[in-house]
Chain A
Amino acid sequence: AQSVTQLDSQVPVFEEAPVELRCNYSSSVSVYLFWYVQYPNQGLQLLLKYLSGSTLVKGINGFEAEFNKSQTSFHLRKPSVHISDTAEYFCAVSNTGGFKTIFGAGTRLFVKA
């Protein structure tokens, strides 16, 4: 069985500071990993995904994530955040088929001026 753990429920950070949102997963088979962002009162949007190949994945809005198979992690990073990055971020894992996608509980990022 697969599972996803987002290690922080809330992350406050000042504008222009770097941020890392942590995600660990467990799975007995090969996995595909995703980060989604949810802005207030909106649906989820895909930020980035890891399917295969390079372990460093670049996404939209300057975010990137690194797949670390030995540590079963897929942490999301941004070197300098903006107020507009305030949102909830979800890590997700699947193996084959979207109906097997498991979402983490979410991390709420607060960017302060």
Chain B
Amino acid sequence: NAGVTQTPKFRVLKTGQSMTLLCAQDMNHEYMYWYRQDPGMGLRLIHYSVGEGTTAKGEVPDGYNVSRLKKQNFLLGLESAAPSQTSVYFCASSYTEGLTDTQYFGPGTRLTVL
């Protein structure tokens, strides 16, 4: 099992450019998430999905869009990148173990917006 993979690992954008980050998981998990990690702020949830074809907003959704057309993939899009979106982005997937979920994380994508 590859677990959770993310593409690309690094990216530099200019302000106003667009891009899509791809997350893939091979564990047949229903739930998937996109987080951003900024120094001193931990992880903040951008969007999440509870199943194929469904998405929902997290804590910091503005400026991002997502799609979950296939159960194993969760895409994060930036339509018009801004310097404030410079961050490390993590994808995660989870399964429910009785009481709550256990999340599995990808290696991250480091994005710089100039």
User: Does A94 count as interface, using CB distance less than 8 angstroms?
Assistant: yes
**Interface flags, A1-34, vs B, CB<8A=1, else 0:** 0001000010000000000000000000000100
Q: Size class of B's contact patch?
A: 20 to 34
Assess whether A103 is in contact with B43, with CB atoms less than 8 Å apart: yes
**Interface flags, B75-112, vs A, CB<8A=1, else 0:** 00000000000000010101011111111111110000
Q: Which residues of B contact A45 (CB under 8 A)?
A: 105
Assess whether A43 is in contact with B43, with CB atoms less than 8 Å apart: no
Contact A51/B107 with A99-B33, A105-B42 known, Cβ cut-off 8 Å: no
**Interface flags, A82-113, vs B, CB<8A=1, else 0:** 00000000100011111101011110000000
* Chain A contact residues, CB within 8 Å of chain B: 4, 9, 32, 36, 41-46, 49, 51-52, 90, 94-99, 101, 103-106
* Chain B contact residues, CB within 8 Å of chain A: 4, 31, 33, 40-45, 48, 50, 56, 58, 90, 92, 94, 96-108
- Extra contacts, 6 of them, besides A51-B98, A98-B33 (Cβ < 8 A), are A45-B105, A46-B104, A98-B103, A99-B58, A101-B103, A103-B44
